[in-house]
Structure 1
Amino acid sequence: MALSLTLPIASGSLAPYALRGTAPVKPDAGVKFNRIAYSAAHVVADPLAAVDPWLQCAVDWDTTIAYRRHLFSLGLGVAEAMDTAQRGMGLDWPTSLELIRRSLDAAKDVPGALVASGCGTDHLNTDEVRSVDDVIRGYEEQMAAIEALGGKLIVMASRALARVAKSPADYERVYDRILRQAKQPVVLHWLGDMFDPALAGYWGSKEVDAAMDTALAVIAAHPHKVDGIKISLLDKDKEIAMRRRLPKGVRMYTGDDFNYAELIAGDSFGSEPTHGQSDALLGIFDAIAPAASAALGALAQGDTDKFHAILGPTVPLSRHIFAAPTRFYKTGVVFMAWLNGHQNHFTMVGGQQSTRSLQHFAELFRLADAANLLEQPELAVQRMKTLLALHGVEG
């Protein structure tokens, strides 16, 4: 007998919904990729901690690290303490550093496991930052702490820098200072203002092409200190244009949660492989991890049709999770982890579970089913019914 439940629909009424009953795809054991693939991973809140959730963060460390181990087991790397982990939206710097330490420790148990960690300036009080020198000192403080743990850096876009920089030259000065000091090649991070309105005008211009020129100039000045750049502009044409202009060996890590499938598959541009394809550093890979792993495994074997057959159905789900206001996408990622049994509650650091509506969750549930992403359908139905009941919907 098919699993079913009652869900809200766009009109505001309720309608029965029957699950498709299609088994989720699973990657082969020991799957190998021909792309580097990082999942930006979420954190699991501790719902029993005696804290004020809007003001303090409490993390369930065991469950949070268990999820990293799950990602490692699928062949995915972990982009740690990034915006998917609610960096700047509930996760403070001291907790972020502890998260990085624990993830690096967990990775030691997994041969070949990749971890790259977010280095930013979020410990600074933005209202008290007066100069570019203040921003540099902020970056240097976090950089030293992460490198002391042996961590690889993702140099995150800085709200403080966006606030005090007066020209592209200020960005060039900051990144020149940081890149010269880096102990190993870093991943740069360009997050569009749809993800964080405080980053509007990053790289010194509100015009994307001009901003891209500045970012490329920074990379060109230090090509051996830059592993790659992650851009999250949700504009595939801009990503492809920038990808084709990167120095030899510098990777484009797609952060485009709307168009990742075609960007990772790539095109036949040029003789430099990295100029015709994107690697991945994606928040959506947290929510679709088994499918992402299986698809990347198929791509590595030259089966592009299977890659698209697996990953294509996940794109509508991702576009829904990352719908405006895009910065609230973390709620959908954690909701998926709860539906799939990777945590036993649906509460979030900062109380962020409240940022999306019941209508949003109902559509997310339907899209997850359509994309074959419900790993334990019976459990998912039970948990969706619990959420519905909390909103006064019975049956």
Structure 2
Amino acid sequence: MPSLLLPRQDGSLELYRLQGTPIARPAKVPTFNRIAYAAAHVVSDPLRDADPWGRPAIDWEATMAFRHHLWSLGFRIAEAMDTAQRGMGLVWPDAQELIRRSLAEARSVPGTDLACGAGTDHLSPDAARSIEDVITAYEEQIGFVEAEGGRAIMMASRALARIARSADDYRRVYGHILRQAKDKVVLHWLGDMFDPQLRGYWGSENFEEALKTVLSIIAENSAKVEGIKISLLDNTKEVALRNGLPEGVLCFTGDDFNYAELIEGDGEKYSHALLGIFDAVAPSASKALAALADGDAATFRGVIEPTVPLSRKIFEAPTQYYKAGVVFLAWLNGHQRHFTLPAGLQSSRGLLHYTDVFRLADKANVLDKPELAAARMRNFLAVLGVEQID
């Protein structure tokens, strides 16, 4: 196995020898007994990126190829979500193009499924003057998704978090949108660790009060709610939500710290999944979920649990920068030619973070092509001043 010099936290270097074993691809598309959405990233195009902070260029061919990679492993795709840098590099016109292209690709592959993020990110929070402005913004984006033949994931709104004065404002907005939705919608409870502008969502910073509000919204509109994704990085809060949902409304874990135990469940209830980490560890997650569907919980745990320390590192605070780690692994694994992100977001993490991600990915058997990953890591280290000794 290849080896290379890696920096440590104390500034010294260690000789690290790769030890992981790549996960074999399934002979056919596997089936799961959990609904599993992978929130997919977008691939930037540095050869055309003249304005990376203002209007990043997207490599559409590589971006679509990655979706086919996820579909081949049995995943549904959550498109144009937080992992695709919504509100952090991907502007609404590019999100529209992404949704349009992905829906067309999905129609070309039998058996695939796709749901699309729809929010209010084209409305600056500072520009919102009323609840009606937020409703209009949601109507535009959900209307676009539905006109393209897609199903919507109703993303949390920075504008609503800023302008709402009570839980009733959330009931008003969500009730209005859900009543007019064509199909069932997945709601999204995104914690402020992912986006500080969402602090106090559902009208309260107190979890119990927020939980009462969101459960009341779902109960009043259950015929239009497929489920809710909860991303609070707290398994006890997710279980509380899961236990309070009406019959037929699904809980989708978005907990990138505790997903293994939440997906397996407690013997009575379990969570489905809508996770950004599935982008980065797709072969492992696919194998684990297929084993769980076969009743082999030991293999499920044995494959997925080693990915949890890696996920916790990628999603460490400041959590909103997790996209950098996801794309770093896509580059190491050969899914794109470069390590750049829209808006230059690769600069949001430091060398020691990426070095830890590399080690943990190897230990979790997430590096699909160890020789390629080691070669790319050597180049990355050299650019940042860590020369290798032959």
Interval of TM-score (by shorter of Structure 1 and Structure 2): over 0.9
Single out whichever of 367-376 and 25-34 deviates more from structure 2.
25-34
Task: State the partner residue of 2:102.
Answer: 103
Deviation at 1:53, TM superposition (A): 1.1
What is the letter of the counterpart of residue 236 of structure 1?
N
Deviation at 1:10, TM superposition (A): 1.3
Residues 138-161 of structure 1, C-alpha deviations (whole Å, 9 max, x = no match)? 000111111000110000000000
User: How do residues 259-298 of structure 1 correspond to structure 2 at under 5 angstroms?
Assistant: 259-269=258-268, 276-298=269-291
Please say if 1:318 is aligned against 2:311.
Answer: yes
User: How do residues 327-346 of structure 1 correspond to structure 2 at under 5 angstroms?
Assistant: 327-346=320-339
Task: State the partner residue of 2:25.
Answer: 26
Partner SS state of residue 244, structure 1: helix
Single out whichever of 16-25 and 79-88 deviates more from structure 2.
16-25
Task: State the partner residue of 1:144.
Answer: 143
Q: Distance in 1 between matches of 2:25 and 2:191?
A: 32
What is the letter of the counterpart of residue 263 of structure 1?
L
Partner SS state of residue 115, structure 2: strand
Residues 84-113 of structure 1, C-alpha deviations (whole Å, 9 max, x = no match)? 000000000010011001111111122221
Task: State the partner residue of 1:216.
Answer: 215
Task: State the partner residue of 2:362.
Answer: 369
Deviation at 1:55, TM superposition (A): 1.6
Residues 11-42 of structure 1, C-alpha deviations (whole Å, 9 max, x = no match)? 11111100114232434523110011000000
Native 8 Å contact 2:187 2:229 kept in 1 = yes
Q: Distance in 2 between matches of 1:355 and 1:23?
A: 28
Q: Distance in 1 between matches of 2:49 and 2:198?
A: 33
Deviation at 1:392, TM superposition (A): 0.9
Task: State the partner residue of 1:178.
Answer: 177
1:153 and 1:15, CA in 2 relative to 1: closer, same or farther beyond 3 A?
same
Match of 2:382 among 364, 369, 389: 389
Q: Distance in 2 between matches of 1:356 and 1:30?
A: 34
Partner SS state of residue 252, structure 2: strand
Native 8 Å contact 2:20 2:364 kept in 1 = no
Partner SS state of residue 274, structure 2: strand
Residues 309-356 of structure 1, C-alpha deviations (whole Å, 9 max, x = no match)? 000000000000000000000000000000000000001100001011
Q: CA RMSD of the aligned region, Å?
A: 0.8
Match of 1:352 among 345, 352, 363: 345
Native 8 Å contact 1:32 1:75 kept in 2 = yes
Q: Distance in 1 between matches of 2:111 and 2:144?
A: 23
Q: Distance in 1 between matches of 2:32 and 2:247?
A: 21
Q: Distance in 1 between matches of 2:43 and 2:93?
A: 16
Q: Distance in 2 between matches of 1:217 and 1:76?
A: 30
Partner SS state of residue 47, structure 1: coil
TM-score relative to the length of structure 2: 0.98
Deviation at 1:268, TM superposition (A): 2.4
Residues 106-141 of structure 1, C-alpha deviations (whole Å, 9 max, x = no match)? 111222211000000000122111111100000001
Residues 371-391 of structure 1, C-alpha deviations (whole Å, 9 max, x = no match)? 001100000000000110110
User: How do residues 72-151 of structure 1 correspond to structure 2 at under 5 angstroms?
Assistant: 72-151=71-150
What is the letter of the counterpart of residue 26 of structure 1?
R
Residues 53-89 of structure 1, C-alpha deviations (whole Å, 9 max, x = no match)? 1122210000000000110111101100000000000
Task: State the partner residue of 1:165.
Answer: 164
What is the letter of the counterpart of residue 343 of structure 1?
Q
Task: State the partner residue of 1:273.
Answer: none
Q: Distance in 1 between matches of 2:195 and 2:20?
A: 37
- What is the aligned residue count? 388
TM-score relative to the length of structure 1: 0.97
Native 8 Å contact 1:331 1:353 kept in 2 = yes
What is the letter of the counterpart of residue 354 of structure 1?
S
Single out whichever of 144-153 and 46-55 deviates more from structure 2.
46-55
Q: Distance in 1 between matches of 2:49 and 2:232?
A: 38
Q: Distance in 2 between matches of 1:50 and 1:233?
A: 34
1:316 and 1:28, CA in 2 relative to 1: closer, same or farther beyond 3 A?
farther
Q: Distance in 2 between matches of 1:202 and 1:21?
A: 41
Native 8 Å contact 1:28 1:294 kept in 2 = no
Q: Distance in 2 between matches of 1:366 and 1:23?
A: 14
1:113 and 1:84, CA in 2 relative to 1: closer, same or farther beyond 3 A?
same
Q: Distance in 2 between matches of 1:43 and 1:338?
A: 12
Question: What runs of 5+ residues in structure 2 fail to find an aligned partner?
Answer: none
Residues 289-314 of structure 1, C-alpha deviations (whole Å, 9 max, x = no match)? 01111110000000001000000000
